[in-house]
């Protein structure tokens, strides 16, 4: 599970298209040999989705459904699922995501909102069977889909950050298990889905980080630099308010350092991804694939991610810093007096022992 910094700069595994095409070419004939090997349908469906072939991905999931038959008996009992229920969960989670991607790939048109609503219902069914899969990604995905449905065609629609949280307000009640689940879910959408190039998702993630620290945070500012990068590259947000509400002015004395660190880490992440892809392509072009070759990764050395250390003050706003400094100044005389008293007492004890 990558952390917030990694998903902001893109330092997480993203495989080249050939990786997925080779999986499709290898596993498609296997379905004919063993049509009840249900994982094959998921593999091939996801691979097609990664290549942008959403219609093919959906078709493969419907083939899986046809083999499974009635899915109504799928359920979780005491946190456990049998093989049938697990396969049913994967069917609903995958096909719901594929319908969402299909709607988005076709321009996210309001006249085709029925596709999005259908996708939403499928994801809801997946959550009903397995509510905690993928670090809660599907739960956040469902909320995002609700937001898309409610926001479609509305010029004054609220941002995803406002929809997920508390209207964008930074409050003392924002820190909660629910907030941390939203953060994990948003990270999951970025790394496991297509949200790497969606400004709305990064805007929501930044807002959640601000809420975790109960004020405008440096980590939230760091994430917004990725949002700004997406806008500058020509990406658009789903609702207009997302771009207009982008906040990049801070009172942080380290703002310049944070900006330069973002650029440094983005460059490093691109270089890391390039090196990984080049290594993979050399092997893939020779017909080798990590699914079937246990020695595929022999010789690959992944450069460790750069380490960032944040000082003690980094998660404090200026008001908190001033209170700490005032507290330190006021307590200094008392500490000095207490220290002197302690030394005098120890000297007196030693003298008493020597006399005795």
Taking only the tens place, the pLDDT of each residue in 214-264 is 567 888 899 999 999 999 999 988 888 888 778 777 778 888 888 999 999
Closest CA to 248 of 266, 262, 233: 262
Q: Give 131's pLDDT tier (boundaries 50, 70, 90).
A: confident
Backbone angles phi, psi at 77, to 5 degrees: -125, 120
- Of 72-76, 187-191, 321-325, the one with minimum mean pLDDT is 321-325
Within 8 A by CB and 6+ apart from 101, the residues are 49, 54, 57, 194
Residue 69's pLDDT is 96
Residue 132's pLDDT is 74
Residue 338's pLDDT is 46
**Sign (positive or negative) of CA dihedral 324, 326, 328, 331:** negative
Q: What is the DSSP letter of 66?
A: H
Specify whether the CB–CB gap between 55 and 103 falls below 8 A.
no
Closest CA to 51 of 105, 123, 4: 105
Per-residue pLDDT tens over the stretch 138-156: 888 899 999 999 998 888 8
Cα 326 versus chain centre, distance: 39
- What span, in angstroms and rounded, lies between the C-alpha atoms of 253 and 87? 52
Specify whether the CB–CB gap between 32 and 40 falls below 8 A.
no
Q: What is the DSSP letter of 16?
A: -
Residue 176's pLDDT is 63
Q: Residue ranges per domain, the chain? A: 4-324, 325-356
Alpha carbon separation from 17 to 21, 47, 205, 283 (Å, rounded): 6, 9, 28, 14
Indicate the average pLDDT of the chain.
83
Within 8 A by CB and 6+ apart from 263, the residues are none
**Sign (positive or negative) of CA dihedral 163, 164, 170, 173:** positive
Residue 323's pLDDT is 40
Residue 73's pLDDT is 92
Q: What is the mean pLDDT of residues 258-276?
A: 94
Per-residue pLDDT tens over the stretch 211-224: 755 567 888 899 99
Alpha carbon separation from 224 to 148, 221, 340 (Å, rounded): 21, 5, 51
Specify whether the CB–CB gap between 270 and 306 falls below 8 A.
no
Alpha helix (H) ranges present in the chain? 4-9, 17-33, 38-50, 54-68, 83-105, 113-129, 137-151, 160-164, 177-192, 199-213, 218-232, 240-244, 255-284, 318-355
Instruction: State the DSSP string of 225-255.
Output: HHHHHHHHTT---SSHHHHHT-------TTH
Higher pLDDT, 46 or 188: 46
Length of the chain: 356
Backbone angles phi, psi at 5, to 5 degrees: -60, -45
């Amino acid at each position: 599970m990558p952390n917030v910094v990694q998903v902001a700069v893109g330092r997480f595994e993203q495989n080249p298209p050939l990786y997925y095409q080779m999986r499709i070419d290898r596993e498609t004939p296997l379905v004919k040999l063993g049509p009840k090997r249900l994982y094959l349908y998921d593999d091939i469906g996801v691979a097609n989705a990664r290549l942008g072939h959403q219609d093919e991905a959906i078709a493969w999931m419907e083939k899986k459904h046809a083999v499974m038959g009635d899915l109504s008996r799928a359920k979780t009992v005491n946190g456990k699922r049998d093989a049938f229920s697990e396969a049913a969960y994967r069917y609903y989670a995958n096909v719901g995501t594929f319908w969402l991607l299909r709607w988005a790939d076709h321009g996210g048109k309001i006249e085709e909102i029925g596709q999005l609503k259908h996708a939403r219902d499928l994801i809801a069914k997946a959550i009903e069977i397995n509510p905690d899969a993928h670090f809660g990604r599907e739960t956040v995905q469902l909320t995002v889909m609700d937001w898309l449905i409610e926001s479609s065609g509305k010029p004054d629609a609220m941002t995803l950050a406002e929809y997920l949280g508390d209207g964008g307000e930074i409050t003392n009640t924002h820190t909660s298990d629910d907030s941390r689940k939203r953060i994990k879910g948003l990270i999951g959408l970025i790394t496991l889905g297509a949200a790497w190039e969606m400004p709305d998702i990064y805007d929501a993630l930044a807002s959640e980080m601000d809420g975790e620290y109960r004020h405008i945070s440096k980590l939230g500012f760091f994430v917004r630099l990725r949002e700004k990068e997406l806008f500058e590259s020509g990406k658009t947000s789903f609702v207009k308010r997302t771009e207009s509400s982008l906040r990049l002015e801070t009172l942080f004395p380290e703002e310049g350092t944070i900006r330069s660190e973002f650029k440094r880490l983005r460059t490093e992440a691109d270089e890391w991804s390039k090196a990984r892809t080049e290594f993979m392509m050399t092997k893939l072009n020779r017909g080798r694939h990590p699914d079937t070759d246990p020695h595929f990764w022999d010789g690959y050395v992944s450069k460790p991610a750069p380490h960032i250390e944040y000082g003690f003050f980094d998660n404090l706003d200026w008001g908190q810093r001033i209170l700490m400094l005032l507290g330190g100044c006021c307590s200094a005389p008392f500490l000095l007096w207490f220290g002197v008293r302690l030394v005098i007492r120890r000297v007196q004890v030693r003298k008493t022992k020597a006399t005795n």
